[in-house]
Amino acid sequence: MRKLNLLLGTIILGMLFLTSCTESEKKEHTDAADIPVSKEMMAELTSPPNVPRGVGRRKAKKLIVNMEILEQVGTMTDGTTYNYWTFGGSVPGSFIRTRVGDEVEFTLSNHPDNKLPHNIDLHAVTGPGGGATSSFVAPGHEKTFNFKTLNPGLYVYHCATAPVGMHIANGMYGLILVEPEGGLPQVDKEYYIMQGDFYTKGEHGEPGLQPFDMQKAVDEDADYVVFNGSVGALTGDNAITANVGETVRLYVGNGGPNLVSSFHVIGEIFDKVHVEGGDMINTNVQTTLVPAGGAAIVEFRVDVPGTFILVDHSIFRAFNKGALGMLKVQGEEDMKIYSGMMQEGIYQPEGGGIQEMPEDENVKTVVASSDKTLAEKMESGKNVYMQTCFACHQAEGQGIPNAFPPLAKSDYLNADVNRAIQIVLKGKTGEITVNGEKYNSVMTRQAISSDEIADVMTYIYNSWDNNKTNVTKSQVEAVKNGH
């Protein structure tokens, strides 16, 4: 009995000891303000889409961050320039990577050529104005302030000088990551993507230096909605890349000023999403909402090769205002996971695109292409075009810069009719040059009948300054059977 008591006592004592031990350990975690810092370190800052190296197992440090504000003209889209206001010379501004407990010494310098005072509000800062009050700096001057990172997560920073909306609308935003102790889990590829909406005097695509339009900004009538500051910042040669089997982590932010992003990667499912950039992890997500002035961390493993399109799934923004990026994945096909080529789903309520016409054409009721007049072919061709081609090549055949080539006045199209027919029949992948611009996208094979192909090709060739070829059904059949 006595022995038992002793044993019990030891167990209780042991338990006590254990609890107190875990408690003290926990304490270190819960109160980030008490994490001691050792040594000084210069922060590595990167421009998008790159991110600095992870913190790994490093201890909390005094982290020196020097950021310069530059007001400078940059390219919005081909032929259109814009006077950006930037943190570190890029939109979004330089990516800052810290860990919980770091003491950040932040110096904000305002270039002497700049016209305006600026400041910075970092959502990762606990303190009045997020640093804005302490960092209000006139051109040709600099301000330094300190803060300790208390909460892990992905945070937006932005300028908060009056008029705030205008400073943000001109590109003054970026992301600061606060990693938990020990860092985020290792992944193969990490990228920095931030959406923003822009308001210009001219409509989307109007050439020349476009001034900011305050009225449109107030009305929330955006001319450009883009990733990383400009149309094409993430397409073509600027696309982000990965290899099959790798896990990709995207730090996704939204600077606004006005619009909320429905961030989606076409052909992928996010395995993990740090919802709103915080601790909560959601799994198997198709589209994640990134609020203006907010962020999200998304992760996914890429299993098959191809080009994956990043969009704001408020889809007109993607196809008409520029919110479109590309992730190019290289590697072995895996037929089990995906049998064919990557395809962008286009919803078609009737006719054409989705269902294959039966090869044996006994059931044919439509008037054969050969029996139609040019006007009839044009009319039917236009219908096919609006249902099948319009989404990518656009209403006036103008295409989308850096993503989808133009059909209007297209040298590539006019050079070879049979090649054009071939592309509609079989699809096209890889680089082509159209009117001097390089495109490297995917067009899927179009499952429409030979009649429809003849009509739509005739429509295209007889519109928008093309060479007026009248494509016949037999021509289409010849190409079809020839290969």
Partner 1 sequence: MITVLRLTLSISLLLTMTMAQSQSKMVSVKGGTYIPLYGRDSLKVTIGDFQMDVYPVTNKEFLEFIKKKPKWQRSNIKKIFADDNYLVSWISDTILGKNQSLKAPVTNVSWFVANDYCDCQGKRLATIDEWEYVAMANKTMPDARSLETYNKYILSWYEKPKTFNNEIGSTFKNYWGVYDLHGLVWEWTSDFNSVLISGESRKDVDNDSNLFCGSAAIGATDLMNYAAFMRYAIRGSVKAKYGLKNLGFRCVKDIKE
Closest contact distance (angstroms) between CB of 130 and partner 1 is: 9
Measured from the CB atom, the residue of 77 and 369 that comes closer to partner 1 is: 77
When the beta carbons of 200 and 458 are compared against partner 1, the nearer one is 200
Q: How far is 234 from 77, CA to CA, in rounded Å?
A: 12
Q: Which is nearer to partner 1, 121 or 190 (CB)?
A: 121
| Cβ contact 257:169 at 8 Å | yes
In the complex, what is the shortest distance from the CB of residue 36 to partner 1, in angstroms, rounded to a whole number? 30
Q: Which of 20, 50, 126, 133 binds partner 1 (CB under 8 A)?
A: 133
Binding to partner 1 by residue 16, rule CB under 8 A? no
Look at strands 103-110 and 62-77 and give their pairing. Answer: parallel
Q: Is 457 helix (H, G, I), strand (E, B) or coil?
A: helix
Residue 101: CB minimum distance to partner 1, A = 26
Q: Does 215 bind partner 1 (CB under 8 A)?
A: yes
Question: For partner 1, which stretch binds (CB under 8 A), given 59-67, 161-169, 180-188, 256-264?
Answer: 161-169
Q: Using an 8 Å Cβ cutoff, are 208 and 306 in contact?
A: no
Query: To the nearest whole angstrom, how small is the minimum distance from the Cβ of residue 144 to partner 1?
Result: 14
Among 115, 349, 363, 430, binds partner 1 (CB under 8 A): 115
Does 434 bind partner 1 (CB under 8 A)? Our answer is: no
Q: Which helix (H) or strand (E) holds 281?
A: strand 281-285
Kindly tell me the sign of the dihedral angle through the C-alpha atoms of 158, 161, 167, 171: negative
Main-chain dihedrals φ then ψ at residue 295, nearest 5 degrees: -150, 170
Number of residues that bind partner 1 (CB under 8 A): 36
Identified binder of partner 1 from the candidate list 51, 137, 273, 400, rule CB under 8 A: 137
Asked if residue 163 binds partner 1 (CB under 8 A), the reply is yes
Identity of the amino acid at 381: G
C-alpha span between 318 and 15 (Å, rounded): 59
The CA distance from 108 to 85, in Å, is 14
Contact status: 139 vs partner 1 (CB under 8 A)? yes
Among 132, 266, 290, 304, binds partner 1 (CB under 8 A): 132
Residue 372 token pair: 């139609």
The reply on whether position 160 binds partner 1 by CB under 8 A is yes
**By the rule CB under 8 A, 138 interacts with partner 1:** yes
Q: How far is the CB of 231 from partner 1 (least distance, A)?
A: 19
Task: Pick the piece of the chain touching partner 1 (CB under 8 A) from 48-56, 150-158, 209-217, 346-354.
Answer: 209-217
Among 16, 218, 367, 374, which residue interacts with partner 1 (rule: CB under 8 A)?
218
**129 touches partner 1 (CB under 8 A):** yes
* Residue 13 CB-density burial (10 A; 0-12 exposed, 13-18 middle, 19+ buried): exposed
Helix axes 450-461, 417-426, angle to 10 degrees: 130
CB of 217 to partner 1, least distance (A): 9
**Per-residue buried b or exposed e for 26-43, using 16+ beta carbons within 10 Å of the residue's own CB:** eeeeeebeebeeeeeeeb
- In whole angstroms, give the CA distance from residue 280 to residue 299: 13
**Three-state DSSP class for residue 65:** strand
> Cα–Cα distance between 214 and 88 in angstroms, integer?
24
Please tell me whether residue 161 binds partner 1 under the rule CB under 8 A: yes
Residues 74-113 that bind partner 1 (CB under 8 A): 83, 112-113
The residue (of 139 and 278) whose beta carbon lies closer to partner 1 is 139
Select from 98, 135, 195, 462 the one that contacts partner 1 (CB under 8 A): 135
Q: With CB under 8 A as the contact rule, which of the stretches 7-15, 188-196, 210-218, 279-287 interacts with partner 1?
A: 210-218
Classify residue 128 as exposed, middle or buried by CB count within 10 Å of its CB (0-12, 13-18, 19+): exposed
Half-sphere exposure of 340 (CA within 13 A, CB side): 10
Residue 95 C-beta: closest distance to partner 1, Å: 24
Nearer to partner 1, 90 or 119 (CB): 119
* Residue 211 sits in the site that holds partner 1 (CB under 8 A): yes
Q: How far is the CB of 91 from partner 1 (least distance, A)?
A: 15
- In this chain, which stretch among 183-191, 214-222, 279-287, 428-436 interacts with partner 1, using CB under 8 A? 214-222
In three-state secondary structure terms, 314 is coil
Minimum distance from residue 133 beta carbon to partner 1 (Å): 4
Q: How far is the CB of 84 from partner 1 (least distance, A)?
A: 10
Buried b (16+ CB within 10 A) or exposed e, 257-296: bbbbbbbbbbbbebebbbebbbeeeeeebebbbbebbbbb
- Binding region for partner 1 (CB under 8 A): 71-73, 83, 112-117, 119, 121, 128-129, 132-141, 160-164, 166, 209, 211-212, 214-215, 218
